[in-house]
Amino acid sequence: MTVGFVTNPNHAQHAVPEHPEGPERLEAVLQLLTESGLLDRLSRIEPRDAADGELASVHRGDYVDALRRACREGGGWADPDTYIASGSCDAAWLAAGACLAATDAVLSNEVRSAFCAVRPPGHHARPAQAMGFCLLNNVAVAARYARRHGIERVAIVDIDVHHGNGTQDAFYDDPSVLYVSTHQYPFYPGTGRASETGSGEAAGTNVNIPLPAGCGDGQYRAAFEQIVEPVVRRFRPQLLLVSCGFDAHYAETIAGMSLSVDGYGALAARLQSLADELCDGRSVFVLEGGYDLDAIAWCARRVIEVLLGDEPTPDPLGPAPYASLNIDALLAELRGIQGL
């Protein structure tokens, strides 16, 4: 199984001291992949900058101009959580372009699937607003790029602990892109209600699975079996994109979920199985959140092992605390909303 891998080597230009979304996140991932020997087994994809015309498929031109101006002027803060450094535009443009390069490699059959180890993350970035540590919406730009290159239906599955409000905004009225999100709710950014299902011809193509804090491997497995997999199968995508946030791991202090490394591996296996069944294997996994350095590194390693078809390496972080939450009523409500 040929698996592609791309990163943006200039990512450390996007940094301010003592911020949870810092260069050490990606460095931890790259270090573990190198030490394990997995990096040598991946097909390296050369990143490139995203072109302004490619960004314009998602982001307004005045917003892109404002980002550039902020970088030229030395940076600042887009909101209390989201910084812009003088080198942030260089890092963000290459992160988005790296995801486009990975999408190209998958669509041209150079690789079956790809993992994009990039930052800054993207799924909170709205068409004209940076927020939630995100400047450009990497997955949304990749989805629109695929559409312009002959893919009629794209599915995005978001497994970050936070709802990807920026991705939802980008495709809320677009019936050609299915957006499915599992996320802690209520939680930042406040969006992601089950009733947010899309508008106009896109009604039903925005699928939110708002989970209560404390959900772990079992609850996520049930959500995938009862909601995620049926709606993706019904949509019949030709490409699967994954907003792969690892901040639902139980070690994270920034959130309150209880997934384990094994649990993330099981989700990745289910997603790649869907890609194999529906998309000729075509999938692109894009790094989003994850702020505990051990958890993000081991979760990324496990996802790549799944894509390679390897037996899983024992998880040094161990199993998650048992989550006894019963979400049957929630899943029944969601099945009703989605007509499942």
Percent of the chain predicted with pLDDT > 70: 100
| pLDDT (tens digit per residue) in 181-219 | 999 999 999 999 999 999 999 999 999 999 999 999 999
Question: Is residue 65 pLDDT above 90, yes or no?
Answer: yes
Residue 324: pLDDT band by 50, 70, 90 thresholds? Answer: confident
**What does the pLDDT read at residue 252?**
97
Q: How far is CA 73 from the centre of its chain?
A: 30
Annotated catalytic residue 11: no
Name residues whose C-beta falls within 8 Å of residue 147's C-beta, 6 or more positions apart in sequence: 154, 176, 177
Question: Is residue 170 pLDDT above 90, yes or no?
Answer: yes
Q: Average pLDDT of the chain?
A: 97
Question: Is residue 1 pLDDT above 80, yes or no?
Answer: no
Using CA atoms, how far apart are residues 83 and 103, in angstroms rounded to an integer?
Answer: 28
Residue 323: pLDDT band by 50, 70, 90 thresholds? Answer: confident
Question: Is residue 40 pLDDT above 80, yes or no?
Answer: yes
| Overall average pLDDT of the 78-101 stretch | 98
Using CA atoms, how far apart are residues 215 and 212, in angstroms rounded to an integer?
Answer: 6
**What does the pLDDT read at residue 119?**
98
The catalytically annotated residue of 59, 124, 162, 163 is: 124
| pLDDT (tens digit per residue) in 230-284 | 999 999 999 999 999 999 999 999 999 999 999 999 999 999 999 999 999 999 9
Question: Is residue 47 pLDDT above 90, yes or no?
Answer: yes
| Overall average pLDDT of the 289-316 stretch | 97
Question: Is residue 101 pLDDT above 90, yes or no?
Answer: yes
Q: In what order do the strands lie in the sheet with 154-158?
A: 43-44, 3-7, 113-117, 283-287, 239-244, 154-158, 177-184, 206-211
Question: Is residue 315 pLDDT above 80, yes or no?
Answer: yes
Q: Are 98 and 24 in contact (CB under 8 A)?
A: no
Task: List domains and CATH numbers for the chain.
Answer: 3-338 (3.40.800.20)
| pTM (whole model) above 0.95 | yes
Strand pairing class (283-287; 239-244): parallel
Q: Which residues pair with 117 in a beta bridge?
A: 7
Using CA atoms, how far apart are residues 327 and 111, in angstroms rounded to an integer?
Answer: 38
How many H helices and E strands in the chain?
A: 11, 10
